[in-house]
Amino acid sequence: MRLNIPGSILVALILGGLIGSSERCQADESKGAEPATQAANRAVVGTLPFSDRRDFDDAKRGFVAALPDDSTVVGADGRPVWSLKGYAFLDSDSVPDTVNPSLWRQAQLNEIAGLFKVADRVYQVRGLDISNMTLIEGDTGIIVIDPLLSKETARAGLDLYLAHRPARPVVAVIYSHSHADHFGGVKGIVDEADVRAGKITILAPAGFMDHAIAENVIAGNAMSRRAIYMYGPLLPRSAQGQVDTGLGKNLSRGTLTLIPPTDSIASSADTRVLDGVRIEFQLTPGTEAPSEMNLYFPDFRVLDMAENVTHNMHNLYTLRGAEIRDGNAWSKYVNESLARFGGRSDVLIAQHHWPTFGTERIQDFLEKQRDLYKFIHDQSVRLMNQGYTPTEIAETLKLPPVLANEWFARGYYGSLSHNAKGVYQKYLGWYDENPANLNPLPTREAAKKAVEYMGGDKAVIQRARTDFAAGQYRWVAQVMSQVVFADPANQEARALGADALEQLGYQSENAPWRNEYLMGARELRSGVVKQAHAGTASADLIRALPTGAFFDYLGVRLNGDRAQDKKIVVNWMFTDLKEEYVLTLDHSALTYLPGAQSDHADATLTLERATLDQISLKQTTFLKAAASGKVKFSGDVARVSELFGLFDDFNPDFPIVEPRQN
Per the CB < 8 A criterion, the answer to whether 508 and 517 are in contact is yes
What's the CA gap between 150 and 16, in Å, rounded? 10
At residue 80, what is the residue type? P
| Lowest-confidence region among 86-95, 147-156, 524-533 | 524-533
Is 70 exceeded by the pLDDT of residue 523?
A: yes
pLDDT of residue 533: 53
Q: What Rg, from alpha-carbon coordinates, does the chain have?
A: 26
Count of C-beta atoms within a 10 Å radius of residue 154: 32
pLDDT of residue 5: 34
What residues does CATH 3.60.15.30 cover in the chain? 10-407
Is 60 exceeded by the pLDDT of residue 8?
A: no
Indicate the SS3 state at residue 142. Answer: strand
- How would you class 25 by CB atoms within 10 Å of its CB: exposed for 0-12, middle for 13-18, buried for 19 or more? buried
What's the CA gap between 288 and 318, in Å, rounded? 10
Instruction: Report the run of H or E that residue 82 belongs to, with start and end.
Output: strand 80-82
pLDDT of residue 544: 81
| Lowest-confidence region among 325-339, 466-480, 539-553 | 539-553
CATH topology of domain 539-644: Nonspecific Lipid-transfer Protein; Chain A (3.30.1050)
Buried b (16+ CB within 10 A) or exposed e, 594-605: eeeeeeebbbbb
What's the CA gap between 430 and 207, in Å, rounded? 29
pLDDT of residue 623: 83
Main-chain phi, psi angles of 594, to 5 degrees: -75, 155
CATH topology of domain 437-526: 1.25.40
Distances in whole angstroms, Cα of residue 486 to Cα of each of 324, 448, 460, 465, 653: 32, 5, 12, 18, 21
Tens-digit pLDDT profile for residues 533-559: 544 456 787 788 889 988 998 999 999
Tens-digit pLDDT profile for residues 555-598: 999 999 999 999 999 999 999 999 999 999 999 999 999 999 99
Does domain 10-407 match CATH 3.60.15.30?
Answer: yes
Read off the DSSP letter of residue 79. -
- The whole-number average pLDDT for the span 381-404 is 98
Tens-digit pLDDT profile for residues 396-432: 999 999 999 999 999 999 999 999 999 999 999 999 9
What's the CA gap between 50 and 207, in Å, rounded? 42
Report pTM: 0.93
pLDDT of residue 514: 98
% pLDDT > 70, the chain: 94
Is 70 exceeded by the pLDDT of residue 341?
A: yes
Per the CB < 8 A criterion, the answer to whether 100 and 41 are in contact is yes
The length of the chain is 662
| Lowest-confidence region among 16-30, 465-479, 530-544 | 16-30
Per the CB < 8 A criterion, the answer to whether 8 and 541 are in contact is yes
pLDDT of residue 20: 37
- The whole-number average pLDDT for the span 98-122 is 98
- The whole-number average pLDDT for the span 483-503 is 98
Per the CB < 8 A criterion, the answer to whether 107 and 335 are in contact is no
What residues does CATH 1.25.40.880 cover in the chain? 437-526
What's the CA gap between 124 and 248, in Å, rounded? 14
pLDDT of residue 23: 40
